[in-house]
Structure 1
Amino acid sequence: MLQRKDAPLILVVEDEPLVRLDITLAMVDAGFSVIEVPDAEQAIELLETRGSIGLVFTDVELAGELNGFDLARTVKERWPHIPVLVTSGRAAPRADIADSFIPKPYDPNAVISQARALAA
């Protein structure tokens, strides 16, 4: 976890390590605190134990039994106050379960801009 004092806490869920590292570092440079995990199952475990998460940023295609849409649906059902920003290079946006969608490949600045708007 990379944390800055008084910064919104973002949960990044991405199974590709280099992609996860790249967006994590960009978000930290932009002033966010970040927790990163590779799959939806670990994300749910963190959400169950940490009350301070201000945004979930997830890829759709993840390793494990749950995909990013499953995670977004779970967040909306169990933690409706937490916004969800979804990304994918193949899947279509799902406005019914995500607060926002950014297609891959994405510009990290676009993700940061959306994260700021959603986590405000």
Structure 2
Amino acid sequence: MSYLATQRTTVLVVEDEPIVLMDAVQALEDAGFEVVDAYDGEHALMKLDERPDIAALFTDVNMPGRLDGVALARMVHERRPDMVLVLTSAAMRLSGADIPDDGRFVPKPYDGLQVAGLIRDMLG
């Protein structure tokens, strides 16, 4: 098996609710992704700077701090236009016009395996 065949795709998960974060991380890891987690937008940007291998962002929209998930997605898209963007929320619904590039919205509650499949499909 080649080195490339054994590399796992890395997903950055941003969620301020610890239980929801743990569930999302577990579902994506079970689907074969490497997962980096962050508890808010600022922390996510630090992780993004530390990890150039991150290929996808899965973020909650409603978070504490100066960046909500939409603002975070816009900043991530500016820095890394190649990244896959998936946003989620229980409080609101977003349309494609609200999310940069070809980002997607998944309403809460979501099925972690469906999110993993969506990310995999978006990565090609």
- Length-normalised TM-score, structure 1: 0.90
1:117 shift after superposition? 1.1
Gaps of 5+ in 1: none
1:95 shift after superposition? 1.6
Question: Which 4+ stretches in 1 moved above 3 angstroms?
Answer: none
1:29 equivalent to 2:30? Answer yes
Contact in 1 for aligned 2:38/2:47 (Cα 8 Å): no
RMSD: 1.2
| Identity across the alignment (%) | 40
Structure exhibiting the larger radius of gyration computed from Cα positions: 2
Contact in 1 for aligned 2:14/2:38 (Cα 8 Å): yes
1:50-61 to structure 2, matched below 5 A, reads 50-61=51-62
1:71 shift after superposition? 0.3
Q: Distance in 2 between matches of 1:107 and 1:84?
A: 17
Q: Distance in 2 between matches of 1:77 and 1:8?
A: 21
1:83-102 to structure 2, matched below 5 A, reads 83-96=84-97, 97-98=99-100, 99-102=103-106
1:5-16 to structure 2, matched below 5 A, reads 6-16=7-17
Q: Which structure shows the higher helix fraction?
A: 2
